[in-house]
Amino acid sequence: MDRYKLIKEVGDGTFGTVWRAINKQTGEVVAIKKMKKKYYSWDECINLREVKSLRKMNHPNIVKLKEVIREHDILYFVFEYMECNLYQLMKDRQKLFAEADIRNWCFQVFQGLSYMHQRGYFHRDLKPENLLVSKDIIKIADFGLAREVNSSPPFTEYVSTRWYRAPEVLLQSYVYTSKVDMWAMGAIMSELLSLRPIFPGASEADEIYKICDVIGSPTEETWLEGLNLANTINYQFPQLSGVPLSSLMPSASKDAVNLITRLCSWDPCNRPTAAEALQHPFFQSCFYVPPSLRPKPSVARTPPVGPRGSFEQQPVKRQPVSLTKAKTFNSSASPKSNAAFGSGVQRKLDLAKQDATRNTKPVRSSVKDYIYRPPGRKSPCNAAGSSVNKNRVARGVSETADKLSNLSIRGTVSRRHSVSVMQQQQLRPPQMKAGCIGETRDMFHRPTQPTANAYSRKVAG
């Protein structure tokens, strides 16, 4: 660590604190994540999901892990530095973002996701805090919960921050897929367009309620498997008809609303894959610059996309990935039309006890409610593979059922070993993390006017 000079703390996550730092030898600015837990052997570090997954990811929209250092039993991850995260960009904003900016960001994130999903990993904790921005470039970060698609269930650890958590995860499905990332992207897109979270649940039960309140309760037609899942845990969905998504984001284009509708489909099979999302009419004006056509930058820099990119003179290509089976989107088509593209990979998890609520401020459950306390992310998520999580498995379904059915939906809201990653990349592929827990948002006011944004999640920096 002597080689680096720490400048300023820029983030305080569940597992580590993140610092802006300078490499004294090269002058390069980096982000160093100092893990909170101690690591007494190098083997322990090498097996961390964040290391295993990130070292295999080499994509312009996935944050680069440059180095892993263990010194005095403390583990440091050295990442490329990014200026801020999407949440920071949203929280003080009074004026809505231009849709072109949102399109540009989302196009890049879907490219990163498409790359990741095709290589057999999914993130599992996508949220605005984990999408890092520098100028026009956005990158996916925080792979602590990332999963290898082919790894075997049961998966027992906490998965994803509640507001962005897919319904199948909320309902404790024993199986879930990369479509959980697509759900999260729908929620993030909506938040970018309205500057307020679309499903700001104060507990797991309230999360489901809020989803029903917005997209309408699931039916046999929209999600038969979900109804079965609910039966299994003895949970009854509230019967709500939902609202037109366009009413929550009045200035959004039809294409944007349509894509969010698809992404936030109850049935994971009805959500587009990342590759399919890139083909959605919302991204019609975007194009992909293949690596062979990109200039070689001296510093790691991602190719911009879309109309604002600096590659506009390049031939336009909109096929970022192999899309031989990709579906053509039709804005008026039923979400069912995506069913054929559901991924077959499945996994299990147990969410019992995840939602330790940190406060008891009353909250109304309607999506029109404006004040609530966010979920207690820090407490619940005890990270992957802990004994606590193993115990959760034992407690299993009945506890979850109790939890979901007993929670009053309208009630209280609790609202010098150093390894070069490049070397490791030659070896083989990993798993990822989704930063869990540590819900650092304190209180969220949801104003009636879209521009009257009043986020106050606590994000250092």
Ligand X SMILES: Nc1ncnc2c1ncn2[C@@H]1O[C@H](COP(=O)(O)OP(=O)(O)OP(=O)(O)O)[C@@H](O)[C@H]1O
Give binding residues for ATP as ranges: 34
Would you state the torsion angle of the CA atoms of residues 31, 32, 37, 42, taken in this order, to the nearest 10 degrees? 120
Q: Which amino acid is at 46?
A: I
Q: Which of residues 72-91 bind ligand X (CB under 6 A)?
A: 79-82, 85
For ligand X, the closer of residues 158 and 282 by Cβ is 158
Closest of 331, 294, 334, 333 to residue 310, by C-alpha: 294
Q: Give the helix, strand, coil percentages of the chain, each rounded to 5.
A: 30, 15, 55
For ligand X, the closer of residues 76 and 79 by Cβ is 79
Annotated catalytic, 206? no
Smallest distance, Å, CB 460 to ligand X?
A: 7
Element (H, E) at 418: strand 417-420
Cα within 13 Å of Cα(415), Cβ side:
21
Smallest distance, Å, CB 405 to ligand X?
A: 29
Cα separations (Å) of 30 from 26, 169, 276? Answer: 11, 34, 34
Q: Which of residues 346-365 bind ligand X (CB under 6 A)?
A: none
For ligand X, the closer of residues 225 and 442 by Cβ is 442
The pattern of x and - marking residues 282 through 321 that bind ligand X according to CB under 6 A reads ----------------------------------------
125-133, 176-184, 343-351, 408-416 -> range binding ligand X (CB under 6 A): 125-133
Closest of 128, 131, 138 to residue 163, by C-alpha: 128
DSSP type of residue 441: B
Q: Which of residues 430-459 bind ligand X (CB under 6 A)?
A: 435-436, 438, 459
Is 380 a binding residue for ligand X by CB under 6 A? The answer is no
Q: Which amino acid is at 194?
A: S
Smallest distance, Å, CB 256 to ligand X?
A: 25
Per annotation, catalytic residue among 2, 73, 92, 125: 125
Is 133 a binding residue for ligand X by CB under 6 A? The answer is no
Is 138 a binding residue for ligand X by CB under 6 A? The answer is no
Q: Is 353:381 a contact under the CB 8 Å cutoff?
A: no
Smallest distance, Å, CB 11 to ligand X?
A: 2
For ligand X, the closer of residues 14 and 261 by Cβ is 14
For ligand X, the closer of residues 130 and 261 by Cβ is 130
Smallest distance, Å, CB 83 to ligand X?
A: 7
Q: Is 195:370 a contact under the CB 8 Å cutoff?
A: no
Taking the C-alpha atoms of residue 28 and residue 44, their distance in angstroms, rounded to an integer, is 28
Q: Which of 13, 201, 320, 335 binds ligand X (CB under 6 A)?
A: 13
Token representation of residue 165 = 């958590």
Helix boundaries (H) for 306-360:
none
Is 15 a binding residue for ligand X by CB under 6 A? The answer is yes
Token representation of residue 447 = 């104003």
Is 132 a binding residue for ligand X by CB under 6 A? The answer is yes
Q: What is the largest CA-CA distance in the chain?
A: 62
Q: Which of 61, 111, 130, 424 binds ligand X (CB under 6 A)?
A: 130
Token representation of residue 41 = 């052997």
For ligand X, the closer of residues 378 and 410 by Cβ is 378
For tokens 């820099």, what's the residue?
301
For ligand X, the closer of residues 269 and 437 by Cβ is 437
Token representation of residue 134 = 């520098």
User: How many residues contact ligand X, by CB under 6 A?
Assistant: 25
Angle at 350 between CA 393 and CA 342, to 5 degrees: 135
Beta strands in 83-183 (DSSP E): 84-85, 121-122, 131-134, 137-140, 147-148
| Count of beta carbons in the 10 Å neighbourhood of residue 249 | 23
Q: Which of 67, 136, 142, 157 binds ligand X (CB under 6 A)?
A: 142
The pattern of x and - marking residues 16 through 55 that bind ligand X according to CB under 6 A reads x-x------------x-x----------------------
Is 144 a binding residue for ligand X by CB under 6 A? The answer is yes
Smallest distance, Å, CB 102 to ligand X?
A: 19
Which residues form the interface with ligand X (CB under 6 A)? Answer: 10-11, 13-16, 18, 31, 33, 63, 79-82, 85, 129-130, 132, 141-142, 144, 435-436, 438, 459
Catalytic residues: 125
